[in-house]
Structure formats: C-alpha cells, structure tokens
Structure 1
Amino acid sequence: MIFTRTWLGEFLNLENKNLNDIVVALNSIGIEVDSTKSLKVSDKVVVGFVKEKTKHENATKLNVCKVDIGDEDLQIVCGASNVDEGQFVAVALEGAKIGDMTIKKTKLRGVDSEGMICSSTELGFEKINDGIMILDDSIGVLELGKQLNAYPTFNDDFIEVELTPNRGDCLSVYGVARDLAAYFNENLQKRKVFLEPNNTIGVGRVLRLNIDNSLNSIFNFRVVEFNGSLDIPLLLKLRLASIGSLKDDDILNYFSYATHSTGVIFNAYDFNNLAQNEDIVSLNISKLENGESVITCNDETVSVTGIYQEEKFSINKNTKLAVIEAHYTFPEIVALAKDFYKKQDLETIYRSFRGSETDLEFGVSYLLSKMTHCPNISIYTSSHNIGFSKDKTEIKINVEKICKTIGAEIGENGIIDILKRLGFEIVVSKEGHLFSAKVPYYRYSDIKNLADICEEIVRMIGIDNIQAKRSLVVEKNRLDNSTYKTYKKAYDLKQRSVLNGYFESIHYVLDSKEELKKLGFETVSLELLNPITQELNSLRTTLINHLLNSASFNLKNSKKTVKLFESGSVFDSNANESAKMAFISCAYKEEAKISNRAKPALVDFYTFLTELRNILGDFQLKNSSLSFLSPYEQAFIYKNGIKIGFVGRLHLALEKERDLFNAYICEFSLDKFDCVDKVAHMYSKFPSVSRDLSILTPKDFGYEKIKECIKELNIDILTDFRLVDIYSDESLKDKYSITINFIFQDMNKTLEDSEIVSCMDKIITVLKDKLGLSLR
C-alpha cells in the first residue's frame, strides 16, 4: 500500500516527525516499510497564470501563451492540446532543471519562448492527463510566482508498506495514521464535520429498506445527484495516480480516493436502473445460508456484500442519480461465502476478506465532503443506517500473565493506557481489581485472546525496549518424557521395518471417501468444503487404502515384489486424531535370482507374520471377521493382552479390483503399542528337553483355548510350547490332528525323564478333563 507524508498528515499531525521517525515507527508497530522516496519539484518552477493564448504562426500544433508569473509576463510556446486562457499552471523558468534538461530561453519555429509550461510527468509525478498539469486550490492558495515546491504536495515523501493479511484495519491512510497515533501517543486530527445541505430532498423520499434481523453486515446509504460534468481536484488526481488508481471516470475516482483514505468500501448504484420508472427504490437486505448479506430489488440480486455488485445496476458516465452504499461484513463470513460465487470483485474481496473499516459514517462523510467541492453534485440530506448486531469481543485481562508473557513489568496502568490508545474499551469489575478489554470492531477479526493482547502491547512498547533477560537453564533427563518415548517407539519400528525389507511410503492425510466406504472402513462426518482433488475429499480413517493404491501402482510398473509401510495420523468418524502404522506385502517374496531359479515363491500368511514378529516383537492372534479380509486368513493382533490392530490377506474380490495378488496387510495403533524395555535374564546352563504331543481337535476348535488351558497349569520347567503341525485326512473325518512341541528346562539341574513324564501327564489330563480332547 502506498501513501504520502502529506496524505498521512490529513489525519495525524507529523510536523515534528521526519521521514526516518515515521519509518522506524511503522516498522516497530508491525507495518513493514517496503520502500520510501522523496519527491521535490525543482527550484525555479513557479505558479503561473495563462492570460492569453494565440496560435503559432508557423506551427499548427503550437500555441503562443502569455503567462503571468507575478512580477512579469512571459511569452511561452506550448504544444499541449489542453492549454487555455484562465488556467493556473506550473511554469519552469530559465535555469530550472526538468529531468536531465535545463530550461533556457529559446526560439521555437521563429518565436521566442521564455520558459516551459509543465505536465505532471515532466515534474517527476505520475501521469494524470494528456497535456499540461492545471493547478487548483486543492494544493493550497495559489500565488503567482510562488515556488511550486513551497506547496507540501510538490515536496513530499512517498511510503510503500507491506501489510500482513490480519491487518486489514491498516489498509487505508486513516488506518495507518490511527496506529501511528497510538504509538506516538498523539491524538488524531480533529475530523472535519460534514454539514448536511439545506433545502434538498431527504433520502427517505427516494429510498426504502427492508432488513432481516441479525445481519453479519452493517450499512450506510446516501443519495447523490449529478447535474453536469465532474472534475476532481488536482490533489486527488496526483494521489490516485501515485497509487495506480486514477481512472477516466471521475465519479469512480471519488470512491477510490475515499476508500484508500478511510478504508470504507463503497458500492454505487444507478437509481434509474433500480427504480424502473418508479419514484422510489425499495431494497431488501437479507442473510443467506453462509451468513453473507444479499441486497435485492424487484427480486433481482443487486449485490452480495463484500463480494460483488451486479454490473447492470452500477453507476456509469450517464448516471444522474446514484444510491451510495457504504458497507462492512465480518471477514470470516466473506471467507466462508466467497467461493460459492463465480462473480467476484477482486478489489472488494481483497479488502473485505482482511477486514475493512467499520466506521462507515466517517467514510461517507469524508467522501461527501470531497464531493461538495464540485458544483455539479447535489447531496440529499440524511441517511439510512444499519448497525452491528454482534457485541464486541470481550477479553479478560490478567496483568501478571501479560507481564510474564512479554518478559517486562508494565503494570496495570501502563496496560490500560496502551489499550485505550489502541481503541479498546476498558470494562472494570464491580470489585474494582479485575478488568477486561472490549476489542474495537475494526480489529474484530484479528484480536481473539490474551496472546493477541500481548502482541499489541509489545508493538506499542517496541520489542527493542524490552530488556533481555538471561534464561535459567537447568539440565534434566531429556529421555524420560512421553514425547521422546513416542518418537523413539516410531523410530525403532521404522528401523526394524527397513531391516526386514520394507520401504516407507508417505501420503496425504486426506483420502477418498468413496474408496474407504468400498473397503468397509468408517468415514469422517466432517465435510471438506474445498478438497484438494475429488480423490482426496476426506480425512483418512486408515492407512491401508493409500498402501493398496501404492502397491497396485508398483505392480503395474513391473515390480515383482512390493513391501511397504507407513506411519501417521488417522481420524475416527468424529475427526478425533490418533497415530497408526500399517504394512503391505504382496506378489512374490523376493525378486527372481539364481538362488530361487528365477521362480520366487509367492508371499504367504506365515511369512508375513514372521516379518511382523521381527518388527513388532511377540504378539498374539485371535479370531476376527473383517469384511475386507479373506475369511480364511485374518486375525486381530493382541500385545500384552490389548488388541492393537489386525492382520490378514486382502479379500480376493478386492485384490482383483485393485489389480493385486497375494496382498497381505496389517494395521495397528501406535498409541496402544507398548514397547517393553528389554530385560536381561539368566539362562540355564543345563540342557533342554523337547517333547511332541499330537491331539485330535474338532475342525472348529480354536487353538487359543488349548494355549490358555496349558498356561493355567503354571508348570515351572515348561519354558515354551508352540503349534508345529496341523494334519487332516479322510480317516480323521471332521477332526484335525495338531502337534504341539513342548520345551522343558530347569535353571539348577538336568531334568530326569520322570519329571518330563509327570508334566506331560498333567497336560494330557487337563486337555481331556477340561476341553474333552484326546490323544491321536
């Protein structure tokens, strides 16, 4: 945003401040100065008055002008098409430097020329017209022969600042001045009161409003009549040109100038297009689904506040009567609603999205006061106003916490003083020792909590004025904390995964809701209003879907073996976050090579489980019935008695759909995965004894029951047992023959056969009596 020192001076007295003071202050309060420049018109450029104009006798495009510069009349040859008698102009006298040129008395086509009538660009300013610059009293009282650089406008400083998106309140000259006034502890300049015109029609005679309750917008409506050609003052033209906003339409120039000066956003409508041959316009203002305000007339949309206005109702060069609307909409409403409209006014959205000025009365008065200088503009009396329906945000002030956060003792009175300077309303409790601050509406979107209050106080104090304090560092055990343990758990699992031949895969935290539903996983009820793509339209509830897609992609790109893992956040149906880890192994166990005679074996369930055991350590399996897994190869994973996840082969139908084969997957909760520290135990020096036991079990009988039954015996010398074989043939009919291997060992002696036999008898007896199983 660009402004000048004199423009800023309209709102704040800066007579005792130089450019460096202003730049330092702006940077200190968080308004970063991008660039500055000083522009002063050369000496010997003075105010002149064109008394006569005659055609050059030897050139059709040249004029010979008699120009009064106060103490003498000069003859100047001028080629500008817009030069005319009765104009005040900028005259460069002999010796004046205009760019790289020094003005001298000369002859042009045989006629003496004693100076030069200048354009704005020749003096170093932006272009405001085609031809010479015509002076008027907007720059000050015009005195013939007075040096032009004696007028502040032509000896000015230009400042360009960069604003963060949250500082929409400073997106105007007035907003910057307001912040500087708080920093300098100065009062803003007294506002010029706009005096309502006498003997004119009232707004209520031509405009009526029908309003919904609880709007998220505020409005101020005025009516203005244009009775002829308009011409904005020179000062306004120069300033608008400096910010790149000077247009051919002078009506629009008035609005642009008022918006850049005050921050208030305006819409302007052609009365005749709204009225449709009626004497009065009736506007309806209502709140839509996303909270935005829409203005309609005769069932047609006129504008959506803060987003756009319909072009057919906009003013134009032929407009005779205009309805002027100043408005403000809460920024979060604009942010939520803007993407639902194809029609958008980018300049309006740029301001309203960041938070425009809320003092509409000030902005309208400023605009109308500028218009009153034009004799061809008539302003109707009174206005229609719609105020805020929301209360100001109130934040409880904790002085001790503020001082601790900032790192400086400011004191209650100091905090109150700063907040008052920034426009906060201080509310003191009945007890008198507690108080809160009401946030001004123009900072509504930016100030939300006590941390924001701290930031405001630091801005006003100046970060360089807060004394640095030495930090007290006490070394502590950095390993004994949950954060480190969580990190170390995930790190170790990843390392072991890589050592077992798995590659890490990383995906978005978003996933396809449709694909998740097909797999049978729950989906998040929270809807994404603006998803990245249609394939990433929901928060993921599992890591499996991404791994399946990645595996399919790898197989289609000629990979023969795919082993991937991923760890990251997933969400339940209520969008509650948790951490999980998942694996997929599919196709072949290994690549084709000499050792497998170029015919590698396919991945199987037991190979996958063995790799998982190497990664996760010991775990237990229990029956499961998950629809997306093969009914014959799946189980829940338990660790230390807690269910942490599942493992199994992808359902054959889903394998075919995803162009996969022999796809084994596993997913478990990192939050529930308990890493038990390794503990070293003494081992026996004496030999172990191995015994096998074959038992007949029904085919629907779970091995888990047998396992628990044997554990309950608590046999001290039984160090381990595991299932080693399952056999079935026609003679066994509806039964399996399972073989269990038992390992016996004592810490203090070599075991005798009688001890082994006694233990085996106990096992056989309990299996027969408790489970009804018999030996084969």
Structure 2
Amino acid sequence: MIITRTWLSEFIDISEKTLQDLVQTLNSIGIEVDKAHSLKVPDKVVVGFVKEKIKHENSDKLSICKVDVGEEDLQIVCGAKNVDEGQFVAVALVGAKLGDTSIKKTKLRGVESFGMICSSTELGFAKLCDGIMILDDSMGELITGKALNAYPLFNDDFIEVELTPNRGDCLSVYGIARDLSAAYDIDMKKRKDFVEPENSKGIGRMLRLSADKELNSSFKYRIIEFKNPVVTSLLLRLRLATIENLGENDVINFLNYATHATGVIFNAYDFKTLEKDQDEELIFKITKEKNGESKVYHEDKLLNTVGIYQEECSKLDQSQIIIIESSYTIPKIIAQAKPHYKKIDENIFYRSFRGSEPKLDIGMNYLINKISKYDNISIYTGSQHIQLQKSLQEIKITASEVSKIIGKDIDKNDIVRILKRLEFEVFIVDENLINVKVPMHRSDVENLYDICEEIVRIVGIDNIASKALEFKEQTRINDTYKEYLELKKLRSRAVALGYFESVHYVLDSKEELVKLGFSTSKLKLSNPLNSDLDTLRPTLINHLLNAANLNISNGKKSVKLFESGAVFNYETQEIHKIAFLNSGLKEEAKISNKAKPKTIDFYDFLFEIQSIIGKFELKQSKEDFLSPYEQAFIYQNGVNLGFVGRVHLKIEKERNLPKTYLCEINLYKLKFKEKVAKPYSKFPSISRDLSILVPKNLSYEPIKELITKLKIPNLQSFRITDLYSDESLSDYFSLSINFIFQNLEKTLEDSEINEAMQKILDALKKDLGLNLR
C-alpha cells in the first residue's frame, strides 16, 4: 500500500509533520512502514512553455523547439514524439544534474541545444508515457521559469506500508489518514459534498434497481456522460503510475484513483453495450446467492459477482455513457463464496476479502467531485442506491476494565476521543459505563480485548510503564504439560541416536503428495505462497524425503532426520504427528567400521524407533509408497499408532535416494504411562525353545495372540529366534520360539516348566492345528 504526503494532505493536515515523524507514528500504531523516502526534482529544472516547434532538417526524429523559461526563450532540440506547440513542459536548464547526467550546451545534428525537455522518469518519477511529461494546472498555477521542485507534487514524500490481513480499513489513503487523525488527535479535513448540477438529466430516466431482500451488500449508482475524449490530469496520472495502476482507459483510471484514495470499490458499465436505445430505461436486478454473495443482472445476463469478478460482457467498450457502481460486501461473505468461483479478479477480491470501505458516499463524492472539474463531462443528477441492513455489534466497556487490561490508567475521555477518531460510535451510559458500536470497516473488532488493542496502539506501547510480574503459585501440571514433556523426551532420544530435527511449513506440494498417494485437505488456498506450498500437509514424510534428497545431493552418505508438527486430514482436522527418516549408511565412515559402514536395514531402523517410543508390535500393512516387502503398522496396547517401512524402490529412484526407511506416528494415540518400579526376582530365569511347523500362509500374529491369552504363570516373555525352510518342509516353515520363565519367590522346577510348555503345545494344536517339528 503506497501513499504520498500530498495525497494524504487531501484528507488530513500533516504540514507540520516530518517524514521521520510520519514513519515513527505509523509504526507505533501498528501500520508497519516497509519503505519511505523523499523524492524531489533536481534544481535548475523549471516550468517551460513550448512556443514553437519545427522539424530538424537533418533528422526525421528530432524537433527544434523554442521554449519560454521565464526570463528568456531557449532553443532546445527534442526527440520526443509527443512534444508540440502550446505545451507546458519540464525543462532541465544548462547546469542541471539529473542523476549521473549533467545538462550542458550541446549540438545535435549541427543545431545548438540549450537544455532538455524531460520525461517523468528522467526526473526520477514513475513512467507516464513514452515521451516527455506534459504539465497542467492540476499541479498548481503554471508559471514559466518557476522551479519544478517548488510544486508539492514534485517535492513529495513516499511511504509504502505493509498491512496485516485484518486491516483492510487501511487499504486507502483515507483509511491511513483516519488512523493518523487518532494518533495525532487532529480533525480530518471536512469532506466536500457534491452539488448536483442544474438542468441535467436525472438518473431515474436511465436506471432502475430491483433487489432481493436481506442482501449482504450495499450499492450506489451514478451516471456520467463523456461528450468528448478526456485527457486525465497530470496529478491523477502521476499518482496512479506511482502505485503501478495507470492504465489506457481513462474511466478505469478515474475509478482506480478513487478506490486507492477512499477504499470504496468501483465498477463501471457501458450504457450502450447494455442497451441499444438510449431512451429506454435499464433495470439492474441484484440477487442474493446461496452462499450469501450478491450478483448483478441485466435481462438475465450476469454482469457482476460483487467483490469477486465482473463479467467481460459488461466491461467498458465505447465509454461514452457510463454507469458507475460503488459497492460493499461483508468480508466474511466473500470468504465463504470465493471457493465456489473459478474466475477471480484478484484486485477486487483482495480488497473485498480484507474489507473495503462501507461508506459508499465517501468514495462516490470524491470521484464525482474529481470528474466534475472536466468541462466535457456531464453528470446526471441523483443516484440509485441499496443500503445494507446490518446491526452494528455493541460492546459494553468500562474505563476501569480497560485500564486494568492495559496496565495503565486511561482516562474515560481519552478512551472516548480515540474511539471516535477511529469512527466508532460511542455512547456514555453513566460515569463509568461506555457503550461502543463497532463500525463496519472494522469487522475484526469483536470484544473488549480488541477495543483495548485499539486504545493501546494509539496511546503507544512505549507510553505504558512496565510493571514487575506478579507471581502466584499454582499447579501447572496438566495433561498438556505432560504431553509437552513426553514430546521433549522423544526428541531428546532421537537426537541421542543421531537424528537431526527438521522444521518445515505446514503447507506442502499437492502434486507431490498426490503422487505419493495422500489425499489433501478439502480447504483450498486462495493465495498460495508458491506452487510447491499450495495445500495443507496431510503427512510429514514428503518434507522429510525432500530434505533427505537435498542432503544426499550435497554429499551426505548417512541422513537421519525427524520432525514433529501438525498435519491436516481431508476435513481439515489438525493432528499432531512425529516422523523419522533414515537413509543411506548406518553411520559415517570411521576407524571403528574400517571406513566401510553398512547400509541401514529394516531391523536396525525398528530398533532405533523402539529406543525412541518404547516397545511396540508390528502388524501387516499395505501402503503404496512403501516397499511391499518391508512395511508394517505399529501398534501399542492394541492401538494403531502409524506405519514403518522402506520407501518404495520406484520413489527412491525418482527422488535420487539410497535405501531409505520411514516411520510416522500419531502423537495423539501414543499413550505415555508413568513408569512404575517393580521388584525384580533374585532367582534364576529358565529358558525353553519350541520349534513348530507353521503353514507358509499363516502369519505369526495369531500364534502370538493365542499364547498371550493363555496367561501362563511365570512366563515373563517369548520371542521368535529362528525361521527356517527347505525342500523337505514343502509348504511349511520351521518356527522356533524362545520362552523365558521366572518366579519372584523361588527357583522354578522342571515339572512346572514342562506343564506350562505342554499347555502351550496343546493350545497351538487345538486352536491352530500346529505340531512340533
């Protein structure tokens, strides 16, 4: 958002404020200044008048001009196509310095030249056209020989501000002036109402409105007629060029100028394009759509989806009789409706989504007053309008509450003054109670704390004395704090095992995610950072894979990464996950591995994950982005936490990765239990092995579940120790399981162990049909 001192001065008197003071004040009230500088035309550049122009005898492109510069007439050779007799121009005299160029007396194709007729860019200002800059009285009274930098327009201050998304009210010069009015406690300049012309046609003969009930938009229409083509003023064109919004169509230039000045959104319709017979009345039908947005129709032809997109068929063509439309729509309605439209006018949507100026009279009066200064423009009397029926939100506050929240005693009169300057409606109920109505241009203000924020930024945070913190002892240990501690432990364990923590945006590449097989959130980003960050991430692993690729490309042989953070499912629900990646070698080359480290394998990776999250169980999984031979779901206490496995060979090849393993766990499902100290047995444990024949189509899972359900006394643990197969076993595996028995109070006898082993064998044979090898 760019503003200039001269433009700002149309709304508020800042003649006694320096540029430094303006910058400091804007920053202090929460309007961050990105750039600020003064721009002044160099000395010895004056107003000149072209009295005569003749063609150069030795050049097709040069002209010899006789230019009045006040005390004398100068002969100047000029190559601009648009130079002509009768023009006021900017003349750099001999001795002037324009940037690195010094103006000297010279000869061009044998003709002496005593100066230079300048373009706007040669003077350091924005580009207006391909030729010289033609002056007019919009900059002030034109006096030949007068220094150009004596005119405020050419000795101006430029300020560019960055606004947070909630401050759409400051997307205009008027909006910035309103905030400065509160900061400086000075009145805004009185707005000039447009005086209707006499003996002009009335808008009622040309336009009538028909509207649905309970619209979420306001409208105001006026009609103007261009009798002859209009050349917009230098002031208007230079300001539009400065904000990079100068176009070819003069009507659109007028509208863009008024929008930047006041914040009101304008559209224009060509009367002849809509209606062939000028004597026939137009009827605009305004409808309320299912998402709350408004649409403008003429004879069932859609002209405009308000705040989102104006149809091509309704845009200006002949530009003679013009219907000007100003509008406002509740920002929340625009946000709800936008996902349902493919065609978006980004300039209009940007303003309407953040919140345009709802007081349409401000913008319309400003625009019509500017247009009325042109002799060849006729303005129809009257206007057609539809007013948004919306009750303003009321917030009851007290001076004592405000002072307590801010931490400084704020006088009630100061509170009232600040809020009124910001155009809040304020009613004093009694000595302490104040009733505040929030204006429509501040839809972000919803409660007492928002009101306090407005007061703080105007009072100035630096003007509020700091106070020592008051410590009150209270119990801070809760589930959230415990989860934070457990996550911290997980991270510490991962770091201890050589993993490096990665941090990425919550946004990711939709294209890459879909290729991996993930479905992305139904929430669509209207203005993504770039094509690689265009959706909310449903997983952490894509970022980790990209990070691994970057490390491998930079010569790393062993890459171990982890990340914890939020991901989002299709319904946009936030889920907190932690993911791990191990790629390449188990470790870097060193003396202990004789400079020949091994490649990471599935069991090494599983051991590391177990060291981080604790013991878990594995169950068969089928994830397309993982190798079909090395993947599994991770279970703890019967709950599926996530997955673990090797990246599919095809993806490893596409991403230029060596052997790579991934694990992702849902932290919400990972239950952290307090560790309970238990006595250990002083008596020896006894180990027994059992080898059984298992069909190759039977997984280990039912065997494990069956043994666990038997609840064998003194059985401490059991695990697979061997899996063997040869031709003699045909369709069977030889599965060896090791059992550990131990008692807290005695040494177990063989008979007790044998009884337990027999119970296990009987159950395996009865329920699963398994026999000893």
2:424 aligned residue: 424
1:209 aligned residue: 209
Taking the TM superposition and a 5 Å limit, the aligned residue runs for 1:285-684 are: 285-287=286-288, 292-310=293-311, 313-315=314-316, 319-331=319-331, 347-395=347-395, 397=397, 402-403=402-403, 406-410=406-410, 412-426=412-426, 437-444=436-443, 446-448=444-446, 450-471=448-469, 481-482=481-482, 484-492=484-492, 494-495=494-495, 526-528=522-524, 569-571=566-568, 574-581=571-578, 613-614=610-611, 616-619=613-616, 639=636, 641=637, 643-645=639-641, 668-675=665-672
CA shift in 2, pair 1:171/1:670, >3 Å? closer
2:283 aligned residue: 282
Mean Cα deviation higher: 384-393 or 305-314: 305-314
The percent identity for this pair of structures is 40
Q: Distance in 1 between matches of 2:153 and 2:641?
A: 76
Opposite residue 178 of structure 2, the aligned amino acid is R
Opposite residue 416 of structure 1, the aligned amino acid is V
CA RMSD of the aligned region, Å? 6.4
Q: Does 1:707 align with 2:708?
A: yes
Aligned residues: 726
SS at match of 1:485: helix
CA shift in 2, pair 1:630/1:251, >3 Å? closer
Q: Does 1:159 align with 2:155?
A: no
Measured after TM superposition, the shift of residue 383 of structure 1 is 0.5
CA shift in 2, pair 1:657/1:270, >3 Å? closer
Mean Cα deviation higher: 406-415 or 376-385: 406-415
Q: Deviations over 1:58-79 (max 9, x none)?
A: 99955597x9x8xxxx774676
TM-score, normalised relative to structure 2: 0.70
Opposite residue 424 of structure 1, the aligned amino acid is F
Q: Distance in 2 between matches of 1:579 and 1:283?
A: 51
Taking the TM superposition and a 5 Å limit, the aligned residue runs for 1:132-171 are: 133-135=135-137, 139=140, 153=152, 157-166=156-165, 167-171=167-171
Mean Cα deviation higher: 235-244 or 570-579: 235-244
Q: Is the 8 Å Cα contact of residues 218 and 328 (structure 1) preserved in structure 2? A: yes
Measured after TM superposition, the shift of residue 380 of structure 1 is 1.2
Q: Deviations over 1:528-565 (max 9, x none)?
A: 4668999999766667899999999999xxx9999998
1:109 aligned residue: none
Opposite residue 160 of structure 1, the aligned amino acid is I
| Structure with larger Rg | 1
CA shift in 2, pair 1:476/1:384, >3 Å? closer
SS at match of 2:224: strand
2:25 aligned residue: 25
Q: Is the 8 Å Cα contact of residues 540 and 570 (structure 1) preserved in structure 2? A: yes
1:35 aligned residue: 36
CA shift in 2, pair 1:457/1:76, >3 Å? same
Opposite residue 485 of structure 1, the aligned amino acid is L
1:227 aligned residue: 227
SS at match of 2:285: strand
Measured after TM superposition, the shift of residue 357 of structure 1 is 2.4
Q: Is the 8 Å Cα contact of residues 399 and 432 (structure 2) preserved in structure 1? A: no
CA shift in 2, pair 1:103/1:553, >3 Å? closer
CA shift in 2, pair 1:573/1:163, >3 Å? closer
Q: Deviations over 1:176-227 (max 9, x none)?
A: 2222111122222222221112222211111122323444432211111233
Q: Deviations over 1:272-330 (max 9, x none)?
A: 121123522222333456655443334444344345545665446x6432212222344
Gaps of 5+ in 2: 58-62, 105-112
Opposite residue 437 of structure 2, the aligned amino acid is K
Q: Does 1:757 align with 2:761?
A: no
Opposite residue 188 of structure 1, the aligned amino acid is M
Q: Distance in 1 between matches of 2:74 and 2:487?
A: 83
CA shift in 2, pair 1:273/1:645, >3 Å? closer
Q: Distance in 1 between matches of 2:721 and 2:53?
A: 117
Measured after TM superposition, the shift of residue 417 of structure 1 is 3.0
Q: Is the 8 Å Cα contact of residues 120 and 126 (structure 1) preserved in structure 2? A: no
Q: Deviations over 1:570-607 (max 9, x none)?
A: 5556443333456799999999xxx9xx9x99978x88
1:110 aligned residue: none
SS at match of 2:453: helix
CA shift in 2, pair 1:165/1:294, >3 Å? farther
Q: Deviations over 1:500-531 (max 9, x none)?
A: xx999999776879999998x9x677454668
Measured after TM superposition, the shift of residue 385 of structure 1 is 0.9
Q: Is the 8 Å Cα contact of residues 90 and 135 (structure 2) preserved in structure 1? A: no
CA shift in 2, pair 1:44/1:524, >3 Å? closer
1:266 aligned residue: 266
Measured after TM superposition, the shift of residue 363 of structure 1 is 1.6
Q: Distance in 1 between matches of 2:630 and 2:102?
A: 95
Opposite residue 276 of structure 2, the aligned amino acid is Q
Q: Distance in 2 between matches of 1:382 and 1:184?
A: 37
Q: Distance in 2 between matches of 1:467 and 1:536?
A: 43
CA shift in 2, pair 1:56/1:333, >3 Å? same
Q: Distance in 1 between matches of 2:708 and 2:457?
A: 70
SS at match of 1:187: coil
Q: Distance in 2 between matches of 1:464 and 1:234?
A: 42
CA shift in 2, pair 1:614/1:183, >3 Å? closer
